[in-house]
Structures are given as C-alpha cells and as structure tokens.
C-alpha cells in the first residue's frame, strides 16, 4: 500500500475498501488536481469526507453493501431486473401516492424505480426539475426528505431499488452557492465560471454546441445582480459548476453520500458529457470528465459499494461505452449507462422498415466491460436525440445529416406515409439537430390509427409498440419502461396550458389516468393487447437467466435487411432474437437458425399471437425468441 492510500481508521471493512480502492481515488485526484500546491490538503479532506460518510451510513445499508459485494454477479445484472421511470407527481401525486402504487409496480415486475425531479428545484420553470436549488431537500408538493426516506424503505421491502437524478453539472441560480456568488463572495464565485466581460465567452462560444438553440440560445448568461457573465450550458437559470475547484468536488460528493445514506441505491449522473470544462475545446466527453467519474466511482465503492452509478451520456454512439471506463480504466466508471444510441437506432429502423441502421451501429460498438450493464428503453422523459446516430470520424454506420433531418420530419408526421404523431424539438433551420417528442404509442402510430378508425393501421401500431418493448427485453441490460407506455398513453397536447410545462418534451409527460379514464373503447382494446404482450415479455424474461446482463449480445447478419438478429449466449444455451422491422411478412434462411442453435431449436417467443408459421418466418413487426443448445 502506498503512503497516499495508507489511511486506516481501525474499522476492518473501511480499511479493506481503502486498500482496494484508495489507489484509484488517489490516482484520479492526482490527475485532476495534482499540480496544486495544496494538493496534500485536499487529498486529506477527501479521505476525511469519505470516512465520515462511511461512519454515518446506517447499519442496514452497510449490511446491504456487504450482501451485494458477496454475490457471485452484480445485483443489477440479474435477468429479473426491470426498471420503471416516472415523475412522482404525474404518476401518483406525491410520495404517499407512490407508496400506494407499490403493489401496481410489483404486479408489473418492477425491481428498480427511477423517480424524476424529486430534489428541490427552483420555483417556476426548472427544466423539468433539473435546476436544483437544494440537493438535500425535496419539492414541497411531493413531501419531505424524511417522507422520501420512508418511501425508499417501503420500496426496498417490496424488492424495488430507488434511483434518483444526481444533477452534478450545474445548480439553479437559486442555490445557496449561487446566491452567495451573486452577493460577491469570491469563494462561491469560484464554484462557477464567472467572467467580468464577454472576452472569454466570445472566445469559447464558437466551439460549443447549443443544447436548446430555440429556447435558450448560447452558453453564457449575463447576471446583472453580479455584473458577470456565467457559463450556462442549458438554461440561463442553470449555472455550470467549476470542477477545476476541488471544493466543488467535495461539496457534490457530500451531497451524494448524504442521499446514499438515506437509502438511494442508483444515481443517474445527469448531463455527464458536459461536466468538465476546458477552454479551447468543445467541452464534451473530455478525458477529465472520465477521470472525475472514476473518482466518484472509487469514493462510492468505499462508502457504499451497494450503490450503482448510471451514466446519462447523451453523446454519439462512439462515446457511450467509454462511460463504463475505457482501456486500463474499463469497469471503473459507471456500472450502468443509458444506451440512447440504441433507442435512436431502433426508431430509425422502425421508420425505414430496415434493420440495417440498428445492425450497422450496434454490431460496430465495443462490448461493455465485465461487471456493467446497459439500460435499454424505447422511450424516456427526454426527446429522441438523433445526433447519437452521427459520427464525425466517418464510421460506416454514421447517419447523414440529410437522413437525420428526414427522421425528425417523419416522426413529426411531415413525411408522406408516416404513421407517427410527434413534434419536432429544438429545430435549427438547415441543421440535423432537431429531436423528436411524443409518447411511444403516438410515435408508433396508435394515435393516427385511432383518429382514422383504421383497424389494419391499429393492428400494425400495436405490433410496433410490442416490438419496441420486445427488443430491449432481450438485450444485454436492464429494460426500462417509461411511465404510461404500459398503458399505451397518447400525447398530451394540453401540456402548454401550464406555465411550467412550456418545454415541448411535456408532450410525452402526461398525467397517469385513473384507470382507463378518457380511453375510447377502441383505445381500451389496443391497450389490452399491449398490456397482455408486455406482461408476457416481462414474465418470460424473468424466467430466462441467460438474459442477464453478464451475457453480452452478439449481432448477426440475418441475410434480410428488414430483420435485426442477435444472440444471447450462456454456458450451455443460447437464445436467438429475430426482430422484423417491416410491415410485411419476412423470413430468414433456416440455415442461420440451425448454425446458431443446432437442430433442436424451439420457439419460446412470448408474443406467439403474431408469429409466422415456421421458426424462420416472421409476421409484420414480429420479434421471435428462439432457444437452443450452444453449438460453439
């Protein structure tokens, strides 16, 4: 053990974790701040913070940490894992309402619940709750932080882990740190990037992308009260934190530890790609960003190893795997990561009827490191960001700007033959930067079919919805259901009536209805099919251990551009998934199935109601699961 990591406190568990992870902690801190003359002092402060957080961790959570550490495989890689994401107020009103809906979540099969926008946000417009005014309090309409802790306990008793957003790129300008910066306190002005004039912003701005080019153009905001320009990547009221200052790092770690000690088991690291700023660069996906996340991971591994970090890296497909850790740091960043590129690719394939976009990209990406898991989903609370399909280095799978422009027009219903009812998000004239908003059901054609009273279109829409559930259920990660998708909810066109919901993404953030309130009989019939299909998929997945995230997906050329094919190998068995992205019947060479699965292959598809006749035949938008013995 090096001198730098020889910090013992007479607690065998803590000292053992320090011996294991202290080197990673020290290395990351050195990479970020090693040139500072006061480095040794900051290192000691970090170790002291880590010890205090560990010492304060409740015994029942320490027991959870130990149990998870002793397991043969990480708990989040189990095939029984199923995520559910919702806004608590729109799902159930408040924390008490969520508690009452625990049986609903259990019946669905949920094992981790992601509650959005829980921590105390600024009043009024808050970017959907992602402008945090206090990390250690909750929004008044939901209940207190103690109420949240009680809910977490009830969820854990029901076998459900809680995930919260950890917004660590920025705070609200209403946060105490920002208010003290406005008041002129130099120590807190150093928590942010504040400039006396436009000299630095004008130098940096041309290198930066605009996240919200329509509603919040530019990356800097003049704050009249402080007479300074502040770096604001997102909205003017969201001030980017300055991690060049180690005081920011320790303050944010302290917030995370206190929430972890309340029982939060998964932290979604919001806007991870932007968190480190370096003048003269585009300030996205920088090497220091990864070092910072490595530091967070090492610190959490010492204090609360039963806690998982989840990367929200809305970057090009080439970058996302790196948020697990890359090269000699593989597996040392986040244990979980959203596969936003897979989501975009599946919607691309659905629009074109060709699986080639999804196959070309997914087969080219590196495998995730051992001990990690993707989080796959058809929809989430954000827009579909088509930029994930771009590649500036010229990869064959990289989509052209022309195609990306076509995609958001297709999902806005602006292309002849489109089945979708969505809306553009933040379009820039002549650029491929618009996203797509809309619920899964509306984007997949259910809304248009109901409007037209077209039974054939209705059947195809339901098939599309189930296809976009079936593929994530079969992939190597945790499938995530977004609130309302299990009900086939349609777009909420009244969202803009609320001053706090002007952002176009509220189109797909509807309030969960009481039962099927407002559903027409035809919509109820479509929902019944979605419900039955989704529950069949969930039940089948939970009884197939080989679908655990420890077994990576391997993509195959199906010999038919309409069909996405991948295998999930285990020790003695292998499952082949065939997904038809076409509205017509398709088939693959029967030899492909026999080569992968042998002669004894059998259909275990949960959605047998839409099957073709033979194993190699696929109905419109059908997803087949076929099981066989491992032949390799």
Whether 270 is a known active-site residue: answer yes
CA nearest to 260, candidates 65, 23, 113: 65
What are the angstrom distances between the C-alpha of 224 and each of 183, 229, 230, 460?
12, 9, 10, 55
Specify the 3-state DSSP secondary structure of 600.
Answer: coil
What CA–CA distance (Å, rounded) separates 67 from 53? 19
- 68, 328 contact by CB (below 8 A): no
Q: Burial, 167: exposed, middle or buried (Cβ in 10 Å; 0-12, 13-18, 19+)? A: buried
Strands 573-580 and 563-569: antiparallel
Residue with tokens 């029967």: 590
Whether 312 is a known active-site residue: answer yes
What CA–CA distance (Å, rounded) separates 101 from 124? 28
Q: What angle do CA 493, 494, 500 make, to 5 degrees?
A: 120
Residues 6 or more apart in contact with residue 226 via CB below 8 angstroms: 181, 182, 184, 189, 194
Q: How many residues does the chain have?
A: 632
b/e sequence 50-69, b meaning 16+ C-beta within 10 Å: bbebbeebeeebbebbeebe
Residue with tokens 């010890």: 51
* Torsion (CA) 98, 102, 107, 110 in degrees, nearest 10: 80
Specify the 3-state DSSP secondary structure of 451.
Answer: helix
What CA–CA distance (Å, rounded) separates 536 from 533? 5
Residue 555 tokens, joined? 């993509």
List the catalytic residue out of 270, 447, 492, 561. Answer: 270
**DSSP single-letter state for residue 109:** T
List the catalytic residue out of 94, 312, 382, 561. Answer: 312
What CA–CA distance (Å, rounded) separates 32 from 233? 22
Residues 6 or more apart in contact with residue 352 via CB below 8 angstroms: 581
Residue 351 tokens, joined? 């629009």
Residues 6 or more apart in contact with residue 125 via CB below 8 angstroms: 235, 237, 499, 500, 502, 503
**What are the catalytic residues?**
270, 312
């Amino acid at each position: 053990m090096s001198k730098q990591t020889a910090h013992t406190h007479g607690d065998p568990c803590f000292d053992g974790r320090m011996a294991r992870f202290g080197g990673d902690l020290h290395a990351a801190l050195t990479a970020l701040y090693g040139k500072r003359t006061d480095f040794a002092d900051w290192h000691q402060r970090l170790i002291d913070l880590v010890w205090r957080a560990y010492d304060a961790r409740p015994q029942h959570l320490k027991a959870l940490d130990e149990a998870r550490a002793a397991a043969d495989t990480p708990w989040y890689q189990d095939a029984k894992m199923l995520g559910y994401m919702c806004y608590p107020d729109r799902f159930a009103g408040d924390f008490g309402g969520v508690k009452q809906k625990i049986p609903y979540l259990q019946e669905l099969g949920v094992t981790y619940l992601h509650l959005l926008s829980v921590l105390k946000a600024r009043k009024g417009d808050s970017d959907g709750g992602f402008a945090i005014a206090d990390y250690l309090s909750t929004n008044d309409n939901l209940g207190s932080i103690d109420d949240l802790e009680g809910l977490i306990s009830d969820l854990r008793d029901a076998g459900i882990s809680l995930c919260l957003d950890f917004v660590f790129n920025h705070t609200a300008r209403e946060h105490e740190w920002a208010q003290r910066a406005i008041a002129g306190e130099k120590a807190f002005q150093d928590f942010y990037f504040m400039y006396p004039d436009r000299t630095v912003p004008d130098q940096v701005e041309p290198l930066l992308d605009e996240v919200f080019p329509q509603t919040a153009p530019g990356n800097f905001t003049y704050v009249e009260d402080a007479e300074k320009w502040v770096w604001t990547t997102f909205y003017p009221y969201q001030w980017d934190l300055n991690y060049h200052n180690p005081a920011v790092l320790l303050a944010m770690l302290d917030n995370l530890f206190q929430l972890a000690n309340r029982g939060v088991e998964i932290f979604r690291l919001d806007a991870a790609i932007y968190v480190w700023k370096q003048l003269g660069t585009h300030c996205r996906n920088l090497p220091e960003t990864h070092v910072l996340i490595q530091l967070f991971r090492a610190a959490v591994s010492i204090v609360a190893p039963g806690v998982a970090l989840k990367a929200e890296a809305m970057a090009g497909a080439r970058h996302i795997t790196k948020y697990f850790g890359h090269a000699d740091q593989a597996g040392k960043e986040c244990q979980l990561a959203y596969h936003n590129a897979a989501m975009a690719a599946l919607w691309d394939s659905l629009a074109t009827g060709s699986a080639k976009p999804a196959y070309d990209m997914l087969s080219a990406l590196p495998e995730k490191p051992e001990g990690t898991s993707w989080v796959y989903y058809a929809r989430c609370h954000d827009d579909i960001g088509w930029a994930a399909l771009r590649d500036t280095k010229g990869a064959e799978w990289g989509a052209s700007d022309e195609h990306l422009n076509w995609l958001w027009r297709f999902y806005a219903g602006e292309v002849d033959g489109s089945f979708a009812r969505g809306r553009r998000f933040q379009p820039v004239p002549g650029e491929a930067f618009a996203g797509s908003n809309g619920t899964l059901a509306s984007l997949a054609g259910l809304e248009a079919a109901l409007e037209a009273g077209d039974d054939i279109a209705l059947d195809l829409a339901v098939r599309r919805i189930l296809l976009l559930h079936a593929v994530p259920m079969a992939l190597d990660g945790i499938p995530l259901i977004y609130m309302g998708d299990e009900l086939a909810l349609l777009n909420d066109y009244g969202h803009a009536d609320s001053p706090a919901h002007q952002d176009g993404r509220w189109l797909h953030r509807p309030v969960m209805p009481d039962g099927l309130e407002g559903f027409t009989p035809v919509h109820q019939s479509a929902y019944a099919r979605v419900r039955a299909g989704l529950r069949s998929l969930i039940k089948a997945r939970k009884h197939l251990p080989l679908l655990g995230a420890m077994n990576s997906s391997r993509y195959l050329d199906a010999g038919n551009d309409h069909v996405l094919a991948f295998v999930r190998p285990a020790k003695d068995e292998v499952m082949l998934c065939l997904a038809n992205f076409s509205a017509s019947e398709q088939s693959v060479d029967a030899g492909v199935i026999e080569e992968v699965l042998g002669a004894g292959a059998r259909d275990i598809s949960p959605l047998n109601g839409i099957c073709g006749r033979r194993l190699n035949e696929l109905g419109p938008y059908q997803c087949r699961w076929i099981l066989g013995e491992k032949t390799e």
